[in-house]
Structures are given as C-alpha cells and as structure tokens.
Amino acid sequence: MIECELCGVSAPSDELPLTWVMTLERGLITHYCDRCARDNVRNIEGRLDRTYW
C-alpha cells in the first residue's frame, strides 16, 4: 500500500491511480493523492528545481 504524505489515504501499490502525484524530494519518493495534489499544486511546483522550468 502507498499512502498520501499529507492526508494518509492509501492506494494499492500495484494499482496506483494515474491522478496521484509522485515526487522525488531529497532522494525520497513521496506520493500525494489527487485531492491533496490539487489543493497543494502551487506548493509542490514551488519546490521544483529551475532546470524543470
């Protein structure tokens, strides 16, 4: 099971919904459910390196 970093909702790791967001932060992979990703998209984008822009 994979859990959302913010709200803790879980999804099966073999059937992770396409609407979930996966990020790599300081070498750690984190997952955000679609609701939390939508609510925090500006915060997530603000942490991206300039090379992604």
* Per-residue pLDDT tens digits for 1-38: 999 999 999 998 888 889 998 888 789 999 999 999 88
* pTM for this prediction: 0.71
pLDDT value of position 15:
84
Q: Are 40 and 30 in contact (CB under 8 A)?
A: no
Which helix (H) or strand (E) covers residue 45, if one does?
helix 41-46
Domain that holds residue 35: 2-52
Helices (H), 1-53: 34-39, 41-46
pLDDT value of position 33:
94
Q: Is the pLDDT of residue 47 over 90?
A: no
pLDDT value of position 4:
95
Q: Is the pLDDT of residue 40 over 90?
A: no
| Tally of domains in the chain | 1
Closest CA to 31 of 16, 45, 48: 16
Q: Tally Cβ neighbours within 10 Å of residue 14.
A: 7
Q: How would you classify residue 8: left for phi > 0, otherwise alpha for psi between -120 and 50, otherwise beta?
A: left
